[in-house]
């Protein structure tokens, strides 16, 4: 879905997704909505707003 964070195409893909239930990606922040900041053939960078109000960034790499 379209990101609701106010990001622009200069710093984000402006795409977000929701992980429902107790699902987490890598670390548990309490937030369920993840924004795809950047994506390449070997990495994806995500931003998540945790229940603490902080932005948490994760870079996932192909192993």
Closest CA to 22 of 31, 13, 10: 31
- pLDDT the model gives residue 45: 94
Residues in the chain: 63
* Token representation of residue 31: 């937030």
Using pLDDT thresholds of 50, 70 and 90, give the confidence band for residue 20: confident
Write the pLDDT tens digit of every residue in 21-53. Answer: 777 777 778 788 899 999 999 999 999 988 899
User: Does this model's pTM top 0.85?
Assistant: no
| DSSP character string of 33-56 | EEEEEEE-SSEEEEEEE-TTS-EE
With tokens 């603490």, the residue in question is 52
Widest distance between CA atoms in the chain: 32
């Amino acid at each position: 879905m379209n990101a609701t964070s106010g990001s622009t195409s200069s710093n984000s893909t402006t795409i977000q997704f929701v992980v429902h239930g107790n699902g987490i990606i890598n670390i548990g922040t309490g937030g369920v909505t993840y924004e795809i900041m950047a994506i390449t053939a070997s990495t994806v960078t995500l931003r998540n707003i945790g229940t603490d109000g902080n932005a948490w960034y994760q870079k996932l790499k192909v192993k």
